[in-house]
Structure formats: C-alpha cells, structure tokens
Amino acid sequence: MRWTIKSKPEKEKVQALQNALQVDETVATLLVQRGIETYEQAKTFFRPTLNDLHNPYLMKDMDKAVIRIEKAIANNENILVFGDYDVDGTTAVSLVSSYLRTYYPNVATYIPDRYNEGYGISYIGIDYAEDNDVSLIIALDCGIKSIDHVNYAKAKNIDFIICDHHRPGDSLPDAIAVLDPKRADCSYPYDELCGCGVGFKLIQALAENRKQTIEDLLPYLDLVATAIAADIVPMTGENRVLAKFGLEVINTNPRPGIKALIQNTKKKVLTITDVVFIVAPRINAAGRVKHGNEAVALLTEYNLEQAEQFASEIEGYNSDRKDLDKQITKEALLQIEENNEIERFSTVVYQESWHKGVIGIVASRLVENYYRPTIVFTKSGDKLAASARSVKDFDVYNALEACSEHLEQFGGHMYAAGMTLKEENYQKFKDAFEKEVKNTIHPDLLIPEIAVDFELDFSDINEKFMRILKQFEPFGPENMTPIFMSKNVVDSGYAKTLGNEAEHLKVFVKQNHSPNFNAIGFGLGKKIDIVKNKNPFDAVYVVEENEWNGNVSLQLQLRDIRAK
C-alpha cells in the first residue's frame, strides 16, 4: 500500500476556522481539507437543511419537461417511465413513477432486459411503448447518447424526456427535454447528481408546479439516498443533503420495500456504508440474476407483507449472484495466470459463458487483486459486452474514448463504464487498451493508495472527538471517512489473528502514555509479526465506535501497518 499524507492546509485558514467555530485544530484541519473555510460553509456542512437544495428550474430544459408532463396528464396520455436495470436506474424509475401515480393513474414502468436489450434505451422498449399507446417516455439514468433511439420513437409519435447524469456526446438526442447537469450548456449549480438525483429534481419541479413543498417529497428520499450510496457519486453539495435526509427516512420510516430488505439486520442505525453493502447489492441482484422489474416491484410496493415476499425472492437472487461472482472471479484469475498477463498495465478478460449480470462485480474483484484498469467481457447476442472498472485517479472513460474505433458503443464515467464490440475486434481492442493505459497511467496509480488526512496522537482520541467526527457523516467520495496515522504504536502483547484462515489482525495498542485502544485490521493477519514482542510500528486507521453487549467503546479500524 502507498501511504499518501494530504498536504497541510494553510495555517491561517485553519486558525481562522478554529476561532470562528471554537473547535480544536484537528477538527478545523479536517474541515479545511474538505474545502470548508468559513463559519457559513461549516454551518451548511454540519447542519444541512432541505432549503440548501437548488431551484430545480435552474436545470436546462426543466421548464420544457414539466410543461410536457402536465400536457400529457391534461390529455390523458399514457406515460412510460423507463430506466436502467442497476440501483440508480431502478430507484429512479420507482421514484418518478410512484410520485406521478399519486395524482395520475396512466403511468407504467419499463426496465430493459439486461440480456436481450442491454444497457440504456432499447428499440424493444420503444416498440413496447407503441404497442401500449404510450406517447411520452421519461428516461432515467440513461439516454444521453440515444440519438437514433429518440429519432426512432419520434417517427412513431412518441416523445422523450431524458433525465441522465452521464457525459453527453458531441450532440444531444432530439428529445422534448434533456435534463443532464453535465450538459455543456447547462448552468445548474451542481453537476454531480446521480440518475435518481436528476429524477428527484424533476419531481421537485413538478411538485412546485402543483404548490407542494419539499416536505411533501421527504418520503421519496430513501430511494435517492440508496442511489447516491450505490452509484458512488461525490458526497458533497446536494448529494450530501439528499443522502443525509434520505438516511433519516431509511432509519425512521422507510418504504415497505426497503423496510423488508433491512429488517433482519442487527444494526439499529444504518449508515451510508450499510446501504452500500446491505441494501444496494440486493436491489442490484434482481437486475443481475433475474430482471430489474423485480426491484421496481419491491420499491413501489406499499403492502409490507407483499414487500417481504418480494424481498425474500430477491435475497435468493443475491445468494445466486454471490456464487456466480465467486466462480467467475476464480476463472478470470486463472485466465490471467495461464496467459502470462500478470505483469500487464491493464486487465482485459473474456469468456463467452460468463454471466452478464455479474461481470461488473468481477471487474471490481480483479481490480482488488491486481490493482489496474480492468475490463471483463462476455458474449451478448452476436456481440461481446463488457464492464470496466478503474483504479483511483485513472479515467477509464477517456481510455475507452481513445480506443473507440474498435468499439460499437460505450458509455459511463471516470471509474466505471460499459461497452459492446464485435467479436473479431476483441483482440485489437485489448491490445489498443493496454497500449493506451501503458502510455497514460502514472506508475504510482498502479499501487493502491491510502490517503491519510494527517498524523494524530492517541491522546487526541476521545468521546468528544468521536462525537464531532460522526457529524462529518454521511461519508463518500470527496468527503471520505477521515483516515489518521500514528507513529511508534505498540501492542500490549495480546496480538492475535482472527478468521477461518487467520486473515484478520486483533491488537490492543497504545502510544507513549496514551489510553489503550482495541484495534482490528481486516485482511492484515499476515502482518502479525510486525506487532509481536512489543515492537513499535506505524499505523493508519479510522476511529470508530464498537458496540458489544450493549457497551459502546472507541476502536481503531486499522487500514495498514508498517514496521519501524
């Protein structure tokens, strides 16, 4: 692991914030590192309110979208809410359709089949709309590059409203409205919303038009928070406000579908991390193993008993997904080894029998293993389809753009993307991608990085410090859980390994005359020799609360350790 200590912010800024907030230097430093330099910015950060959300009409084409939806309602038209099959897409479809149905019945939903239709707007979906007399499609979390599809629909007198957050191409689809804060000509103040977030701005505008308040939309924020968590968008600005209030809904009064997914967890209060690891994979499993429609059925169900039935089925899909993911990862690792590709700058693997629903997860597993930009291909109809995952600070979307002559289509963002190509172009693409990564990636980016906020003395860690740290939540990109480093740490002599394969490390540590802390290092079992015999070592860690038998104590979660 590469330990990188963030550069220290200007002393004057830290001092000024310290004085303004009456906090100690460690807290002021953490805030300034996150771009929070004034009392007002700190107030918004620690005490976000729904009033901090921007006016939805600042988004380009929002007025056109609202006018067209209201016209559809006035004319009794059939509306189809269309979205991608992942968490962001299915939550967005559930959000917009359930809101519209509160006052208009002619609303249907459509999630494309991952295998027959693939990602994004599909001709099959448009034909379905035509067969069901639909004259308006609202597309969520997809559509920004669907120029031909929108023209195809137009020829059938079907209008489109596109709500997307992916990067646009050189030209936009000829839709009634294209809502995407990443449009070059859109001056919306925040451009890091997820697809469900853009969908929320649409219902916010519709609600405003109907004289509803933001409080009327609170029950929908459990969906938005789930999408924000799953799509790994920056936890800043509007995302942070929506996630914070959405988490409150999840923990107090979630919709029956989410309640059914979380009611067996032992945790009393769920964090964003819990949403990422408990709620999101289960919603995703429906689209990966069965069909995304099942996730929408769960998330729009108002009867708890029925929701529990749906959740139980989805739990089964999630179990199947785990088995598939494990098996395919094993096969992919073997393929890399057998082809002598361990020393490459990128990983590109293909097997026609691999399950399309889990190739994105497998790509992430391979990144964990070899830590380099990774693409996993499988057969999809007469073409190959793939999922790409990247390493920190390397833009895989740009790398794909450089190799696009070999691709049929591609889309996504910096760290994750999808694509299709003709089978005969696979090797050409694989070679071109390797060459592009080799020529553009900095060697440091091929070593996993731990970004450390700053060095901390154990004497600074106490309940008050933890109370303030908790107020930095919800954590996510650009507002990550603070990571600290401490030097000359020693174990009290009770170090041991845990787990079936002794993979985890448990220690009881102190520094100088500080209080002792329990510390756990997941995956650090092999490093037990570093801490034996009370040898001093350096550690990077996060501070967390550990609850055991009703008692809450402070604990360090070790991210890495190094011998002195």
Sequence letter at residue 2: R
Instruction: Describe the strand order of the beta sheet including 134-140 as a list of residue ranges.
Output: 107-110, 78-83, 134-140, 159-163, 177-179
The DSSP call for residue 276 is: I
pLDDT score, position 548: 78
pLDDT top residue among 269 and 88:
88
pLDDT score, position 492: 87
Number of C-beta neighbours around residue 223 at 10 A: 31
* Domains in the chain, number: 3
Number of C-beta neighbours around residue 335 at 10 A: 14
As a whole number of angstroms, the distance between CA 387 and CA 82 comes to 22
Among 543, 437, 474, smallest CA distance to 233 is for 474
162 with 116, same domain: the answer is: yes
CB-CB contact of 262 with 278 (8 Å): yes
Task: Assign 512 a pLDDT band (cuts: 50, 70, 90).
Answer: confident
296 with 434, same domain: the answer is: no
As a whole number of angstroms, the distance between CA 417 and CA 414 comes to 8
Q: Is 28 a domain residue? A: no
Domain with 270, as residue range(s), is 56-312
Q: Is 41 a domain residue? A: no
pLDDT tens for 24-74 read: 999 999 999 999 999 999 999 999 999 999 999 999 999 999 999 999 999
As a whole number of angstroms, the distance between CA 262 and CA 279 comes to 7
470 with 520, same domain: the answer is: yes
Q: Decide if pLDDT at 549 tops 80.
A: no
CB-CB contact of 145 with 411 (8 Å): yes
363 with 489, same domain: the answer is: no
pLDDT score, position 467: 93
Give backbone dihedrals phi and psi of 193, rounded to 5 degrees, phi first. -65, 150
Q: What torsion do the CA atoms of 117, 228, 246, 120 make, to the nearest 10 degrees?
A: -20
405 with 486, same domain: the answer is: no
pLDDT tens for 417-465 read: 999 999 999 999 999 999 999 999 999 999 999 999 999 999 999 999 9
Domain final residue pick, 406, 426, 446: 446
As a whole number of angstroms, the distance between CA 542 and CA 340 comes to 37
Sequence letter at residue 312: S
Q: Is 466 a domain residue? A: yes
As a whole number of angstroms, the distance between CA 289 and CA 265 comes to 23
* pLDDT (mean) for 7-16: 94
360 with 385, same domain: the answer is: yes
- C-alpha distances (whole Å) from 311 to each of 248, 250, 295, 306, 317 are 21, 16, 9, 9, 10
Cα of 390 vs its chain's centroid, Å: 14
Sequence letter at residue 97: S
Q: Is 320 a domain residue? A: no
Domain final residue pick, 397, 417, 446: 446
pTM of the model: 0.89
* pLDDT (mean) for 470-477: 93
As a whole number of angstroms, the distance between CA 332 and CA 362 comes to 8
Q: Decide if pLDDT at 564 tops 90.
A: no
As a whole number of angstroms, the distance between CA 416 and CA 460 comes to 38
Q: Is 549 exposed, middle or buried, given 0-12, 13-18 or 19+ CB atoms closer than 10 A?
A: exposed
Handedness of CA 386, 194, 250, 467 (dihedral sign): positive
491 with 551, same domain: the answer is: yes
Task: Assign 264 a pLDDT band (cuts: 50, 70, 90).
Answer: confident
Domain final residue pick, 387, 420, 446: 446
416 with 510, same domain: the answer is: no
Q: Is 422 a domain residue? A: yes
73 with 191, same domain: the answer is: yes
pLDDT score, position 258: 96
Cα of 174 vs its chain's centroid, Å: 29
Q: Is 34 a domain residue? A: no
440 with 467, same domain: the answer is: no
Q: Is 82 a domain residue? A: yes
231 with 126, same domain: the answer is: yes
Q: Decide if pLDDT at 540 tops 80.
A: yes
Largest CA distance in the chain: 79
Dump the DSSP string for 520-557. EETT-GGGHHHHGGG--EEEEEEEEEEEETTEEEEEEE
Q: Is 319 a domain residue? A: no
* pLDDT (mean) for 497-521: 92
- CATH number, domain of 380, equals 3.10.310.30
pLDDT score, position 216: 96
- CATH number, domain of 206, equals 3.90.1640.30
Task: Assign 546 a pLDDT band (cuts: 50, 70, 90).
Answer: confident
219 with 244, same domain: the answer is: yes
pLDDT score, position 245: 97
